[in-house]
Amino acid sequence: MNTRSQLRKEIRQRRNALSVTEQSNAATALTERLSNHNQIQQAKRIAIYLSNDGELSTANFIDWCWQNHKDVYLPVVHPFSKGNLLFLHYQQDTKLVSNMYGILEPQLDVTKVCPLQQLDIICTPLVAFDNSGARLGMGGGFYDRSLAQWQQTKLYPIGLAHDCQLVEKVPTESWDIPLPEIITPSKNYQFI
C-alpha cells in the first residue's frame, strides 16, 4: 500500500470517528466561516458537494445559500467523459440519485448544467491537506481535472475539511492541483 493510500485510510478513519455532536458543531462553525467569507458573500453561483463518508456536513451552508439567493450547483460524474465532473443546478426539489460510488447527485439534466467557467466559487471535498495548500482527495482525480485551469477563470476554489484532516505533509503528484484556500471549522488557511 502506498503512502497516499495509507494516509487516505488513516484520515478517513479519523473523521469517521467524530461524534454526532462534534460533526454538528463543526457544520455550524463551517457555515459561520463560509457565510462571512467576502468572496462567498459576493458570489452568485456556488458549487459544493453533498457530504459523504464522514466529510464535514455542507447541508447548513447549502440552506444558507438558498436563503441568501445564491445558486447552488452539485457535482455529477460525467456520463461520457471518464473522470470528469459536470455541475448541475441544485434546488430544494431537485431529484437526487446515487452515482456509481454511492454518492447522491442530481439526476442528469443538460438544461441544468453550469459550465465551470461560469461558477464563482467551487467548494471541494478532501481527505487530507497540509500547510502548503496541498490537497489529497479520494484518488479519482475528479477535482484535479476540474480545477486544472482555475487560475485562468473567475472561479475560486475553496477546500472544506475538519480540523483533524490537517497533516504535516501531503505526498503530491504532478497532476495534483493545490488550493488557494482551505476552510475548517476553526481556521481559514490561505495559500496565495
Q: Binding site membership for ATP: which residues? A: 4-8, 135-143
Residues 189 and 167 sit within 8 Å (Cβ to Cβ): no
CA distance 191 to 65: 25
Neighbours of 88 (CB within 10 A): 22
Binding site residue list for substrate: 50, 55
- Find all residues with CB under 8 Å of 153, minimum gap 6, and list them: 116, 117
Q: What residue ranges in 7-143 does DSSP mark as E strands?
A: 45-47, 71-77, 85-90, 96-98, 104-106, 121-124, 128-129, 135-136
Binding site residue list: 4-8, 50, 55, 135-143
Query: In the block, which residue shows the cell 482525480?
Result: 141
